[in-house]
A = this chain, B = another copy of it.
Amino acid sequence: MFKLPPPLKKIVDVLSELPSIGPRQAVRLGFYLVSRGQGHIKNFADALRDLGKIKVCERCFFVHENKGNLCDICADQTRRPDVILIVEKETDLISLEKTGKYKGRYFIIGPISKLGVLDDWQKLRLKNLLSFIERELGGKAEELILGFNPTSLGDVSAKLIMKELAPRAKKMSRLGRGLPTGGEIEFADDETLGSAIDRRS
């Protein structure tokens, strides 16, 4: 059996542990890094070390570099603390935040498994949210918005979280469904068209 030199094998193993990178791609990336030379590799390693400076917000679990324990959004006094949009991923938060439409807070629960159960650290995060609502919002949030994908998995996730949080919110909602802007009726699927009819405005 052919063997890669151990340092190359090591980086290939590390790369192939990353989500969405397969073993073949990892080997190709390993050779690519070698071919780019020392300067490039050092630059990459330095960038990784600097990543250690990133902190995770103790309230919503988004990233930040602030002195305290809160991210920019949670530390922003002009944003409503009692309207909380729950998302699976940091990238979902970013997409929603880029609209500039939303002036409440967020909460990142993490990707929910296809089994429709929360893992241990998700339970911890949820506990964290519940105690925030208890402590800072007098036991009930004004509104909790479920920002899950409009997919069957997203529906399962929303139901799961809804069950946990319903007693702690005056109002619960999900992001609106309907025709995506720029889309064409002719090419929309039945579910989307059905939602567009139900939620016409």
Residues on A facing B (Cβ under 8 Å) = 1-2, 4-8, 10-11, 13-14, 18-20, 24-25, 27-35, 38, 41-45, 47-54, 56, 63-65, 89-91, 94, 97-98
Contacts and interface: CB of A to CB of B under 8 A. Distances in A.
A53 B11 CA distance: 12
A22 to B, nearest CB: 10
Contacts of A30: 51
24 contacts: A4-B63, A4-B94, A5-B65, A6-B65, A7-B51, A7-B52, A7-B53, A8-B51, A8-B54, A10-B51, A18-B29, A18-B32, A27-B94, A28-B89, A28-B91, A31-B89, A31-B90, A33-B48, A33-B51, A35-B56, A38-B52, A41-B49, A41-B52, A48-B48
A32 B20 CA distance: 11
A194 to B, nearest CB: 29
A91 B1 contact: no
A19 B8 contact: no
Given A20-B25, A28-B20, A31-B91, A48 B44 contact: yes
Secondary structure of the A contact surface, majority rule: helix
Contact of A7 (B2, B24, B41, B65): B65
B10 A47 contact: yes
A69 B45 CA distance: 26
Contact of A34 (B38, B56, B97): B56
Nearest to A61: B35
A154 B70 CA distance: 55
Given A48-B11, A52-B41, A54-B8, A31 B63 contact: yes
Closest 8 CB pairs of A and B: A45-B48, A7-B50, A31-B90, A5-B65, A11-B47, A45-B45, A10-B47, A14-B47
